[in-house]
Amino acid sequence: MKYLTCLWLGMFMCAACADPGVSNKNAISMGKKDEKIVAQTLDSLQARYAELDVERARKGVHQAAALWYEHDGSAADFMAFCLDNYVNDEREREALFHDLSDKFELVFGHFHHIDVGLTAPLQEAGGEVHKIDMDMGGYNVAAHFNDDMYSSKVAFTVILNFPAYTLAEKQQLGANWSRLQWGYARLGDSFTSRVPAQVQQDVSTANSLAETYISDYNIAMDALRNEEGQQLFPDGMKLISHWGLRDELKSNYADAARGLEKQRLIYTVMKRIVTQEIPERVINNGAVTWKPISNKVYEKDAEIQASAEPDTRYKIFVNNFKAMSAIDPYTPSLPTAIERAFDGDMEFSKEEVKAMFTTFISSPQVKQVAALVAKRLGRPLEPFDIWYDGFKSRSGIPEDALTAKTRKLYPDAKALERDLANLLRRLGFTGTEAQRIGDKIQVDAARGSGHAWGAVMKGDKARLRTRIPEAGMDYKGYNIAVHEFGHNVEQTISLYDVDYYMMNGVPNTAFTEALAFIFQKRDLELLGMKENNPHKQALETLDIFWGCYEIMGVALVDIATWEWLYAHPQATPAQLKENVLRIAREIWDTHYAPVLGEPGSPVLSIYSHMLNSPLYLANYPMGHLIEFQLEAHLRGKPFATEISRIYKLGRLVPQAWMKQAAGQEVHIEPMLDAVGEAVKQLTVNNE
């Protein structure tokens, strides 16, 4: 599930939204108005300081000038500000860095604390959500922070003394930087654009509405019927789209009796959702029964007319696009949400990601693994086998037995919270360290499927929010909770143990997803159910590979959809729906239908992230690639010790982080190379 805090600093100040030295087209900057003033300012600094770092001064003055608008003061005011606030002495500059870091931690931490409280009614289980909850939950308490920092000139003090570096500069120069210099660079990322508060607030509101829509999008599985009118799912089962539906589909590989029939029914539900053919009345409603295949609805055994959900799913998507694209004029060097998501947030280019993913899902290894899956299933593959779960060790264990164990262990959120330190001890953390980390994580019952939300200042707690039914935590909820727990462990280490606050966090969300995946695959171990399978490593390789194959296609649909929206910014929800389905079908037909069948399937568009986490999906497959390389690195090493070392690295750029963590950059070849050997091993041993 979405990792909510890759660094709150980025949300507050549009970190890395634009390259240095580019002015806002909606206002006249000092750099545009009088370039002579910039030169005169630099000359004055050189005259004042005999040992001036000319390159640093040049970057700082140019970047400050580019964001100094007429209402900030005259040209003379600009020059005076630079002369009065430039810190030439390195000891004084370091002291300023620490002072700013402490103050920003205080501000960001309390902003975050307010946000947690305001969104609690929308995200935590219990009680009806009222309009005021939605209104306040969509309020961005930090919306005016950027404006305030520029108005008070604090932002200009940062820009002048800690200029920003482009991604290319960080990649080139960063190898020789000290940790302190990296901290300076990340502080320099803080103020690189001036996005108006109202524009930021509109994004928060759109995101909040999308989150609420998804959190309340549940299917009453006990109200589903096959075409013979039979109930296939147990009473009380209510699953959120898409996560719950997908995980239920996965779990039915262990049901030899009726699992295949259940999977086909769930797959049909998914298609009805994305095509918006789903009857509106069956959403979050178990009072009527529904035959998804014929799409008929019944009330008290009598068929009734039930209109389809209007294009609500795609209206939410359009609203997100309008809010996020409104930022574009204020970030001219990254002028689209797509570029901000990739070049800015991920620090991987969109082209690099697309090429990597397309090469992966087109590789000959896909058909090799697909043939093995078909052999293991004893039937031709079907589209929903994109979620084949049989390479996981738990897939042969009845889920009912697992659920009985998790319900007994975790009847409520507090029971899970009390056990967190014990879970860490089972992973090799010392008693003291396990308790230290566990005490910094709070567990809440979630209204939706759950998420991890890291603390932003030391002394606060990370939040683990997970769905816990009245009967206690079922296995699906436990498995998701372990994933979110991995996020929380990363969030805690990378906040409390990183040497400089401005370096807290990870390079991008793919890196925290990697640790979440690493934790999630150890869920049985944490239940005390150790596995002694000699093919465990081969199975894990194929499991990660197949997961990448699935989610890379989903991410490509997400990217292509945003590319289409930018080409058609006035699109209606109906037009968007038509083209999302077209894009999903084209990618399916090219890369999936030859393996899984059913040309024209729209199932790649089912992921709810497309609505409530725009342009986030690429982080998952990237996280899988990182996970694979980290797992290879961790093999044979003390798990807890290495995890602690790795996640103390903080926010380096991705490839620099990966080289220091595991000795090599992120790429697809290690996994592709390992797949052939894994297939051979399992085939020879008839596994």
Rg (C-alpha) for the chain, rounded Å, is: 26
Average pLDDT, the chain: 91
Residue 587 has pLDDT above 60, yes or no: yes
Where residue 544 falls among pLDDT bands split at 50, 70, 90?
A: very high
The SS3 of residue 336 is coil
**pLDDT value of position 394:** 55
Residue 8 has pLDDT above 70, yes or no: no
**pLDDT value of position 167:** 82
Q: Mean pLDDT, to the nearest integer, of 544-556?
A: 97
- Rounded to whole angstroms, what are the CA distances from 356 to 348, 362, 446, 528? 11, 10, 35, 38
User: What distance in Å separates the CA atoms of residue 576 and residue 567, rounded to the nearest whole number?
Assistant: 12
pLDDT in tens, 244-287: 999 999 999 989 999 999 999 999 999 999 999 999 999 999 99
Where residue 26 falls among pLDDT bands split at 50, 70, 90?
A: very low
**pLDDT value of position 425:** 97
Residue 518 is inside which H or E element, if any?
helix 509-520
| CA nearest to 73, candidates 84, 60, 87, 88 | 84
Residue type, 588: W
**pLDDT value of position 135:** 85
Residue 24 has pLDDT above 80, yes or no: no
Residue 544 is inside which H or E element, if any?
helix 536-567
DSSP string, 149-183: HHHTTHHHHHHHHS----HHHHHHHGGG--HHHHH
Residue 18 has pLDDT above 50, yes or no: no
Cα 524 to its chain centre, rounded Å, is: 24
Which residue carries 């009734």 as its tokens? Answer: 304
Pairing mode, if any, of strands 441-445 and 462-466? Answer: parallel
DSSP string, 635-678: TTS-HHHHHHHHTTS-S--HHHHHHHHHSS---SHHHHHHHHHH
Where residue 29 falls among pLDDT bands split at 50, 70, 90?
A: low
Where residue 397 falls among pLDDT bands split at 50, 70, 90?
A: confident
**pLDDT value of position 393:** 59
User: What distance in Å separates the CA atoms of residue 245 and residue 232, rounded to the nearest whole number?
Assistant: 14
Residue 175 has pLDDT above 80, yes or no: yes
Tell which wins on pLDDT, 653 or 9: 653
Where residue 330 falls among pLDDT bands split at 50, 70, 90?
A: confident
Q: Mean pLDDT, to the nearest integer, of 337-359?
A: 93
User: What distance in Å separates the CA atoms of residue 197 and residue 477, rounded to the nearest whole number?
Assistant: 37
Two structure tokens written together for 41: 């300012």
User: What distance in Å separates the CA atoms of residue 486 and residue 328, rounded to the nearest whole number?
Assistant: 34
What is this structure's pTM? 0.79
Residue 451 is inside which H or E element, if any?
strand 450-453
List Cβ neighbours of 382 (8 Å cut-off, separation of 6 or more).
263, 264, 267, 596, 597, 598
Where residue 32 falls among pLDDT bands split at 50, 70, 90?
A: low
Residue 514 has pLDDT above 60, yes or no: yes
Residue 453 is inside which H or E element, if any?
strand 450-453
Residue type, 400: D
Query: By percentage, how much of the chain surpasses pLDDT 90?
Result: 75
The SS3 of residue 309 is coil
User: What distance in Å separates the CA atoms of residue 190 and residue 503, rounded to the nearest whole number?
Assistant: 12
pLDDT in tens, 211-223: 999 989 999 999 9
Strands (E), 207-318: 218-220, 238-240, 289-291, 296-299, 302-304
**pLDDT value of position 124:** 81
| CA nearest to 675, candidates 423, 364, 336 | 364
Residue 491 has pLDDT above 60, yes or no: yes
Residue 687 has pLDDT above 60, yes or no: yes
Residue type, 444: D
Residue 358 has pLDDT above 90, yes or no: yes
**pLDDT value of position 138:** 82
Where residue 120 falls among pLDDT bands split at 50, 70, 90?
A: confident
Residue 25 has pLDDT above 60, yes or no: no
**pLDDT value of position 10:** 42
Residue 315 has pLDDT above 80, yes or no: yes
Two structure tokens written together for 289: 């029964």
**pLDDT value of position 529:** 83
Q: Mean pLDDT, to the nearest integer, of 415-443?
A: 97
- Rounded to whole angstroms, what are the CA distances from 379 to 317, 406, 546, 549, 674? 37, 32, 18, 20, 26
Tell which wins on pLDDT, 497 or 215: 497
Q: Mean pLDDT, to the nearest integer, of 430-442?
A: 97
Structural contact between residues 495 and 459, judged by C-beta atoms closer than 8 angstroms: no
Count CB-CB contacts under 10 A for residue 378.
6
Q: Mean pLDDT, to the nearest integer, of 611-635?
A: 93
Residue 194 has pLDDT above 90, yes or no: no
DSSP string, 380-444: ---GGGGG--TTSGGGGS-HHHHHHHHHHH-SSHHHHHHHHHHHHHHTT--HHHHHHHHTTEEEE
Where residue 395 falls among pLDDT bands split at 50, 70, 90?
A: low
